[in-house]
Chain A
Amino acid sequence: MEKKRFVPRSFLIEVLVLAGIFTLVQYLIVSGLLNEYYQINLSSMCINIILAVSLNLINGFTGQLSLGHAGFMAVGAYAAVVVTTIYSQPFILGLLAACLAAGLAGLIIGVPTLRLKGDYLAIATLGFGEIIRVILQNIDFIGGPAGILGIPRYSTWPWLFGLTVFTIVIIVNLINSSYGRAIISVREDEVASELMGINTTNYKVLAFVIGALFAGLAGALYAHYFYIIKPSTFNFLKSFDILVMVVLGGLGSTTGAVIAAIFVTMLTAALQTFPAIRMVLYAVTLVVVMVYRPQGLMGNKEWGRRTWGRIWGEKNEPLANK
């Protein structure tokens, strides 16, 4: 038997790779080698990764099709902006407010709607997403339909990168915990997991609230990067955008969600001048993926410590023995 290491080598490699990416990009930004265009796309990438990974928790792992993710993003964005811009508090408080507000919105919406199944849930969440948007449009305090301008740019690369990694780590660890297994069992067979004594409603609401919370975080980052927010940014087409990433990457694969978020952001940037073609491509992608590869690019496979371990020759015990 191999000697147990205090810190697995694959973990060290992960940390090193992440630190490497961070330092490299930070250097490129500081030295001015990375122009504004690439910086914007890099930031969108981080925000999209947070959105896709969090929606994947709801749609992919819990199996509850939610179409209202943009609504939670809007709640987070507005909450953060109210704190930082209107009450001039520090960014960290804005982020906390965003998470709290979006999580609360997730709870309020999740508790009644998660009793619904499949199609009904999809439509109800779509409806709630739109209701959030309409409500925001009608509050004069936050600018009504015109939104809020002149938001300070607090979302710097360290914040964006750090919070993206944070989101992925939290969600991956959640999925690998006993909670995560309960959540997956709800997706696999709701009736059977209920018979095993799992309170399915609780786990569905838990996943929904955590997903909403991170969507709010992404919203806050978005608002503090692009200077301006208005309710129409967060309509259901934005929700569909996120859905495309999750479906393309594979329902139930965090790795897939990350890869798809990066890919979709690059595609969006490349087709900036032809928005209609971009949407037609999205649409065709959705249909083709569903017809020919309904499990998405990655299925429910992950690239993780075990894959790194295999590459670096570190032996992993099967999960069941741990």
Chain B
Amino acid sequence: MLEFLQQLINGLSLGAIYALIALGYTMVYGIIMLINFAHGDIMMVGAYVGFFSIAVLGSNIFAALIFAMLSCAVLGVLIEKIAYKPLRNSSRIAALITAIGVSLFLEYFTLFLLTPQQRVFPEAAFPLHKYQIGGLLISNKDIFIFALAVILMIALQYIIKRTRTGKAMRAVSLDREAAILMGISVDRTISITFAIGSSLAAAAGVMIGIYYNTINPLMGIIPGLKAFVAAVLGGIGIIPGAMVGGFLMGILETMVSGYGSTLYRDAVAFGVLILILLVKPTGLFGKDTGEKV
């Protein structure tokens, strides 16, 4: 039982990271029906920006976090303007292939600039403390990641439910034409969605840097895919679904590594995806809508 609780705690911080990435997937999908394949790589860029602001500029962890979030927000908007906007009316396969292209570009351009070498996230920025609570081992990293993720999620929920921008985002995702007729600037709303989603990914990137200690240019692929699975699990396009899906994926992954084999860790994520797509493609929180001709 104690071990189970321990795994659960480990899973929660990993899940928080997945949930943050999944939110970006789900928001973008909700608004332009595109799986932003590059999302995991935006997270990687965020991790690198965080790394450099700590290691080179010597900023503290919070400044690094904010810096990473801001620069990735700009990056997300740029990607949308350059690569996705011209394809808004073309086939979904074309958009998806473009997204794969952007993803490869971010990965290998970073690889080219910064070499494939792993970088160790500076330990000094976040000294590790472990607390023993009733036989459970909890580190300050776990608490930091979990608390920060929850704060960001509450902030996101506030933006979406309580602000005019959030209202515009909901309107565009519900019916783009009607939103235009109501005087909503669709381009601006899509840009804001990308900015918010990418900054959440950047925060997740810095968290992954803290969580795993090392970063490399290809680190975004696997967490990105898993977060996508999390978004599908919760019902893609549904924000609370992405949060729940993210936590479920994180917990499931630590359970599989804890009780089974780490080798099958990545296969399990895809197994879940295929299972959910076959049993309930709309996800846990999704409603069934019939196919329209």
| Minimum CB distance partner of B264 in chain A | A134
Contact between chains at A291 and B86 (CB < 8 Å): yes
Contact yes or no, B97 A118, CB < 8 A: no
The answer, yes or no, to whether A294 is at the interface (CB within 8 Å) is: yes
Is the beta-carbon distance between B112 and A276 smaller than 8 angstroms? yes
- A118 and B93 in contact, given A112-B274, A291-B87, A291-B98 (Cβ under 8 angstroms): yes
Contact A127-B270, Cβ < 8 Å, known A284-B101, A287-B105: yes
Residues of A71-129 whose CB lies within 8 A of B: 112-113, 115-116, 118-120, 122-124, 126-128
Please give the distance in Å from B92's CB to the nearest CB on chain A.
Answer: 5
Tell me whether A279 and B97 are in contact (CB under 8 A).
no
**Are A65 and B93 in contact (CB-based, < 8 A)?**
yes
Interface check A277, CB cutoff 8 A: yes
- Interface digits, B154-173 against A, CB 8 Å rule (1 contact, 0 not)? 00000000000000000000
Is B57 interfacial (CB 8 A cutoff)? Answer: no
B112 to A124, Cβ gap below 8 A? Answer: no
Q: Decide: B104 and A123 in contact? CB cutoff 8 A.
A: no
CA separation between A131 and B264, bound complex, in Å? 9
For residue A137, CB closer than 8 A to chain B, the reply is yes
If over half of B's interface residues share one DSSP class (helix, strand or loop), that class is named, otherwise mixed; here it is helix
Tell me, yes or no, whether B293 is within 8 Å of chain A by CB.
yes
Question: By the criterion of a CB under 8 Å from any partner CB, how many residues of chain B are at the interface?
Answer: 45
> In the complex, what distance in Å separates the CA atom of A277 from the CA atom of B112?
7
- Whether, in the assembled complex, A138 has its beta carbon less than 8 Å from a beta carbon of chain B, the answer is yes
Whether B278 lies near A118 (C-beta < 8 A) is no
Residues of A within 8 A of B263 (CB): 134, 137-138
How many angstroms from the CA of A113 to the CA of B278 in the assembled complex? 8
B273 to A243, Cβ gap below 8 A?
A: no
B94 engages A290 (CB within 8 Å) = yes
Interface residues on A, range: 35 or more
Given the complex of chains A and B, what is the CA–CA distance between A20 and B94 in angstroms?
38
Known: A243-B97, A283-B108. A131 touches B92 (CB 8 A): no
Are B87 and A286 neighbours in the complex by a CB distance under 8 Å? no
* Residue interface bits B98-109, CB-to-A below 8 A is 1, else 0: 101111110111
CA distance A240 to B103 in the complex (A): 11
Q: Judge if B91 is at the interface, Cβ distance under 8 Å.
A: yes
Q: Distance (Å) between the CB of A8 and the closest chain B CB?
A: 36
Q: Which residues of A contact B35 (CB under 8 A)?
A: 119, 122-123
Q: Which 9 A-B pairs have the closest CB atoms?
A: A286-B101, A127-B270, A283-B105, A279-B108, A283-B104, A276-B112, A287-B101, A134-B267, A290-B98
| Chain B positions near chain A (C-beta within 8 angstroms) | 34-35, 83, 86-87, 90-98, 100-105, 107-109, 111-112, 116, 225, 228-229, 232, 261, 263-264, 266-267, 269-271, 273-274, 277-278, 281, 291, 293
Q: List 25 A-B contacts (CB under 8 A).
A: A65-B93, A65-B96, A119-B35, A119-B96, A123-B232, A124-B273, A127-B274, A128-B270, A138-B263, A191-B293, A240-B100, A243-B100, A276-B116, A279-B104, A279-B107, A279-B108, A279-B111, A280-B104, A280-B109, A283-B101, A286-B104, A287-B83, A290-B98, A294-B90, A294-B94
